[in-house]
């Protein structure tokens, strides 16, 4: 791997595949949502891995959504995916439509994290979960070592260097402030370390 872009792409693709595998193990039918879907990489992986699911993706960029739709058509996944342009804080979906919602590297961009999470709560069915992943400014030594083991030292260095310069990157302190906000509607809330990323794991009971 000889470039920062290739290094970051390898880490990202492996991470997305891991999430798709986790989704497949967790739910087998119904609708799942990716908030901040970009060009739909995770949505497509979820649709490929879990034929019983309908995978939705939403992103604020109309251009990214158009690209995602085109990629889905080319991959033969147009019927099992659905893409919309829209804002995380005002989701264009009915109450209780989804069994699971996922977001990766998007939360720190939202103008109001609590409003966005409460919108996710609204569109989840009772018992539904939200898995909100974001960049972690200070990954643990173990996470750093595992990254170097899995991808090589150069790729690990590029990935960790990138984290240091992401605007408003997540910290454990910031994540706990969000989870402890009294206006957050989720009944079950916990913070997990997921390699070099943080996971806010939420459940609507």
Question: 131-143, pLDDT tens digit by residue?
Answer: 999 987 777 788 7
Task: Give pLDDT tens digits for 76-101.
Answer: 999 999 999 999 999 999 999 999 99
Closest CA to 35 of 59, 61, 13: 59
Query: What is the phi-psi region of residue 41: left when phi exceeds 0, alpha when psi lies from -120 to 50, beta otherwise?
Result: alpha
Report the number of secondary-structure helices (H) and strands (E) in the chain: 7, 7
Rounded percentage of the chain residues whose pLDDT exceeds 70: 93
Choose the weakest-confidence range: 30-39, 65-74, 105-114, 168-177: 168-177
Integer CA distances (angstroms), 56 to 61, 101, 136, in order: 15, 9, 26
Closest CA to 195 of 149, 130, 136: 136
Rounded to two decimals, the pTM is 0.88
The span from the CA of 38 to the CA of 83, in Å, is 10
> Does position 159 have pLDDT exceeding 60, yes or no?
yes
């Amino acid at each position: 791997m000889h470039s920062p872009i290739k290094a970051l792409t390898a880490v990202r693709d492996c991470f997305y595949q891991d999430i798709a595998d986790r989704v497949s193990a967790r739910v087998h039918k119904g609708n799942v949502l990716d908030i901040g879907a970009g060009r739909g990489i995770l949505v497509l992986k979820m649709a490929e891995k879990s034929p019983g699911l309908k995978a939705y993706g939403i992103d604020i960029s109309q251009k990214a959504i158009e690209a995602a739709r085109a990629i889905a058509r080319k991959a033969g996944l147009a019927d099992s995916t659905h893409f919309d342009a829209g804002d995380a804080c005002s989701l264009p979906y009915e109450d209780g439509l989804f069994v699971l919602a996922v977001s990766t590297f998007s939360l720190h961009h939202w103008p109001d994290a609590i409003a966005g999470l409460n919108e996710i709560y609204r569109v989840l069915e009772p018992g539904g979960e939200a898995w909100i992943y974001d960049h972690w400014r200070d990954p643990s030594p173990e996470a750093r070592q595992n990254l170097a083991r899995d991808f090589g030292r150069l790729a690990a260095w590029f990935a960790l260097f990138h984290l240091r310069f992401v605007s408003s990157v997540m910290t454990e302190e910031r994540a706990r402030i969000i989870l402890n906000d009294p206006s957050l509607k989720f009944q079950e809330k916990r913070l997990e370390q997921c390699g070099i990323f943080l996971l806010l794991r939420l459940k609507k009971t």
